[in-house]
Structure 1
């Protein structure tokens, strides 16, 4: 079986890096990847309800389909350099807690709503 040296934190009295069987390294790398993926999925599941609530609010304000509401939220997030869950939380707080939208979010939302406004048929 092949072995590789695994890096360890440098210290004055540490010797050479210990050798670990390649299969163990592959398993460790896969375990780290899976742990990172699980963390990402947990975060996504935790923020999904507030994102859905905010999307519903946009749909009611505009009115527009869900895909357009999602585009509006993304546009606001990008123009304010603010993560999407924070935008959604600020928007839902306007109804749940009577909190005003931050001015930069309010301005970006107004711009995005105008940008996505349906054009009247002539």
Structure 2
């Protein structure tokens, strides 16, 4: 079960999380929402001590981010361990939680200086919306694929996630593409032979 610690830092709150970010981590959301409300500008997450993170955990982070945007605030991932980093990379959501660096802060226009062209702002916003949509659309398929592996091979949620990630990495296949193809096998589709081999190997090394 995930736990967290909150430390005020100026107009932001630094939240350090320990444990696993999975379906059970949603129990953190009420406290995170309260922390967000108490902050002046948003939350900075430190996730170095998170040893496991699946799509349910990412969903929780995206929900928190959406809540922050509704309040005109931001949620950033200041630091994270391999589990969170891998998931953010595989789902293309890293930039949604990117923190503004010192150099970016330094070149921010002053109040009396012209800001970036409106077109650039619109382009950045469109890119961010595209990333968010992609993450929201692919998560259900990934969770369904994980459920198929759990039911087919008697894997735990963590084991099924490990199989998906390992097969994705070993076949150089995007995680959501692999999940889509795996779900397609329920309706008569087949996986390419190299993918089948890597999937079988991952299951063999993970199954109890």
Shared fold, TM over 0.5: yes
SS at match of 2:133: helix
> In 2, distance between residues paired with 1:113 and 1:105?
12
Q: Counterpart in 1 of 2:147?
A: 56
Task: Specify the alignment match of 2:197 in structure 1.
Answer: 107
In the TM superposition, what is the alpha-carbon distance from 1:95 to its structure 2 partner? 0.8
- Is the alpha carbon distance of 1:28 and 1:94 closer, same or farther for their aligned partners in structure 2, counting shifts above 3 Å? same
Equivalence map 1:35-46=2 (5 Å): 35-46=126-137
- Superposed, 1:1-122 pairs within 5 Å as 22-25=113-116, 31-96=122-187, 98-118=188-208
RMSD of the TM alignment (CA)?
Answer: 2.1
CA distance in 2, matches of 1:28, 1:68: 45
Deviations along 1:35-78, whole A, 9 cap, x unmatched?
Answer: 32211110111112211110100111221222221111011110
Q: Distance in 1 between matches of 2:178 and 2:152?
A: 16
Is contact 2:159–2:206 with CA below 8 Å preserved after alignment? yes
> Which structure is larger by alpha-carbon Rg, 1 or 2?
1
Deviation at 1:24, TM superposition (A): 2.1
Give the number of equivalent residue pairs. 97
TM-score normalised according to structure 2 size: 0.42
* Structure of greater relative contact order (alpha carbons < 8 Å, 6+ residues apart): 1
Q: Any stretches of 5+ residues in structure 1 without a counterpart?
A: 1-20
Which has a greater percent of helix? 1
